[in-house]
Structures are given as structure tokens and as C-alpha cells.
Amino acid sequence: MKTTSADATINTQPRAPEPAKTGTGTRVIDLGDSVTIGGLRVAIMAGPCAIETVDQLQAVADSVKKTGASILRGGVYKMRTAPQSFQGLGEKAFKMAADICRKTGLKFVTEAVDEQSLDLVDQHADMIQIGTRNMHNSALLKRAGKCKKPVLLKRGFSATIEEFLLAADYILQGGNTRVILCERGIRTFNTYSRYTLDLNLVPALRERTPLPVMVDVSHGTGKRTMVPPMALAAIACGADGVMMEVHHAPDEALSDGAQSLAIEDFETLVPRMRSVAEAIGRTL
């Protein structure tokens, strides 16, 4: 295996683990306007699975802003398992997100599903998400290495830590050093939840790479009742950020309603997340 990444992401010898309370020892990724991922402050990325309407995005964005979170998520393009499922509004959703982010001061992350959408996301969003299904798409990863914006790389749902780190290396070696890794649940024999959230990966990655590590507690569980406890656990085990889906009317969501928090539940959860962050010497 080639292990010569400029960023030494792939080390065969684990580094000594960093105690969470002294900070993370991770690279700090700057999104501008004092919004960072990595370092002592735990980032929250929240928003709908898919952007559906201006009113929907505005309602969620107002809540994200009010709780003190800094990054709005929202799918412009959706990679759905079934072709008949809602595939996202496409390009027109960029303007909706841009208008709302300009008003609220939030940063925006959305997924690039192919090389064409990658260029558009690089142009219109503050951070590019590469989803679980594309973690093995080396052509897309290489092109993301040439993009200007930071990349949030999600773990393939059956990828090992080595495969995940090597996928990140494709981006790093292309010259884009602003990569954030995101655990989002893996396939196991468990059928109770949509995936099994592998929180072991957070300290494991900490031993292997200086890249910040996030946890997506919505796709990782698939159930809104499991989101709050896993969000607290993700912070407790050292995640640099937590991603979660929030919707103003989750039962009517066009995608992933079952795992989306209602706005009130999100607003109750964030102060609890803050308490856990403070308990381990971090802020939120």
C-alpha cells in the first residue's frame, strides 16, 4: 500500500491519542466569517435532508441560527436508492440557499453527486459534501482535490478505516488540504436502526489523521428518537462536529422524514449538546 501522502494521513503507527479536553490536535478548517471546523469549538451542521421550498429552508435556517449553530445543510441533488423517490430540486435550490445564508449569516454545505454537480457546488456552496455512495468514486475524489472549497467526505457505508483514509488521500494529493471526515453509519447485522453508527471510528481516526472528524447522527441511526442520545455521545467521544437533519414538518418531508428532528426537538437538543461539549473542555 502506498503510504506517502503529503499529509501523512496514512500512518501505520498510531499517534498517541489526544485527550478531548485539551482540544483535538486537529487541523482547523476555516470556512470564513469565524466559522471553523476542528479545534475546540464543536460545529453543528443542521438542515433538511433535501431543500424543498423557500419557506421550509427559511424556517429551519432561522432555528439553526437561533441555537447558535453555524452551518446549514440541505440537499440540492439527492442520490436516492429508488428512482421514483424525490431527487432534489437541482440547480434552482442554490439560489434559495444563497439568499437565506446571506440573510442569516450561515454557511452552506451540500452534496455533489457527480463531476458536473461538483463544479456547481464548488461555485455556490461554502463546503462540498461527498456522500457515502461516492466515497469510492476516485474520479470524483480527484476532481474534488482541485476544488477551492473544503470537502466533507462521508465514509462509505461498508468502508474500512483504511479505505476511508485512502479516499481522503485522493483529495489531499490533488492539492485540497481542507478535508473533513464524516462517520455516517455502516452496514452490520443490526436491522433495528437504518445503519450502525460506528463511534469507535472517532477515536480511531484521531490516532491516524489530523483531519477533523464529524458524525452524522441522522443517517447513522435512521430514527429521530435515536438522534439526540447519539448526538450527545458523538460529542462525548471527541467529534469535531455533528451533522443532523431538521425539518419544519418531518412527517411531510420529501426525504428522510423518519430521521429528521422537528425544529422544537432540535432547539431542545442543542443546549444539551453544549453541556456535553463544556463537560469535556470544548465549546459549541
Comparison of 49 and 106: residue with beta carbon closer to ligand PEP: 49
For Mn ion, the binding residues (CB under 5 A) are 49, 256
Per CB under 6 A, 27 contacts ligand PEP: no
Closer by beta carbon to ligand PEP, 7 or else 163: 163
Size of the site for ligand PEP (CB under 6 A): 9
The answer to whether 49 contacts ligand PEP (rule: CB under 6 A) is yes
> Please, which residue, 112 or 147, has the CB nearer to ligand PEP?
112
How many degrees, rounded to 5, is the angle at CA 200 between CA 179 and CA 195? 85
Binder among 184, 194, 247, 248 for ligand PEP (CB under 6 A): 184
Is residue 194 a contact point for ligand PEP (CB under 6 A)? no
DSSP class per residue in 150-210: -EEEEPPTT--HHHHHHHHHHHHHTT---EEEEE--B--S--SSSSB--TTHHHHHHHH-S
Shorter beta-carbon distance to ligand PEP: residue 75 or 150: 75
Q: Which residue is nearest to Mn ion (CB)?
A: 49
Q: How many alpha carbons fall within 13 Å on the CB side of residue 5?
A: 24
Nearest to ligand PEP of 39, 131 (CB atom)? 131
Give residues 212-231 in contact with ligand PEP (rule: CB under 6 A): 216, 219
Ranked by CB distance to ligand PEP, the top (closest) residue is 131
Nearest-angstrom CA–CA distance, 264 and 112: 29
Q: Select 143 or 154, whichever has its Cβ closest to ligand PEP.
A: 154
The residue from 154, 178, 194, 206 that contacts ligand PEP (CB under 6 A) is 154
Contact criterion met (CB below 8 Å) for 188 and 205: no
Question: Is 111 a binder of ligand PEP (CB under 6 A)?
Answer: yes
Centre a 10 Å sphere on the Cβ of residue 162 and count the other Cβ atoms it contains.
11
Q: Which is nearer to Mn ion, 49 or 263 (CB)?
A: 49
If 0-12 CB within 10 Å is exposed, 13-18 middle and 19+ buried, where does residue 32 land? exposed
Q: What does 184 interact with, of ligand PEP, Mn ion, none (CB < 5 to 8 A by kind)?
A: ligand PEP
Residues 227 and 193: beta-carbon distance below 8 Å: no
Phi, psi of 205 (to 5 degrees): -65, -35
Is the backbone of residue 81 left (phi > 0), alpha (psi -120 to 50) or beta? alpha
Buried b (16+ CB within 10 A) or exposed e, 199-215: bebbbbbbebbbbbbbb
Q: Which does 194 bind (CB under 5 to 8 A by kind): Mn ion, ligand PEP, none?
A: none
8 Å CB contact between 130 and 149: no
Between CA 97 and CA 94 the distance in angstroms is: 5
Is residue 132 involved in binding ligand PEP (CB under 6 A)? yes
Which of the listed partners (ligand PEP, Mn ion, none) does 154 bind, with a CB threshold of 5 to 8 Å by partner kind?
Answer: ligand PEP
Residues that bind ligand PEP (CB under 6 A): 49, 75, 111, 131-132, 154, 184, 216, 219
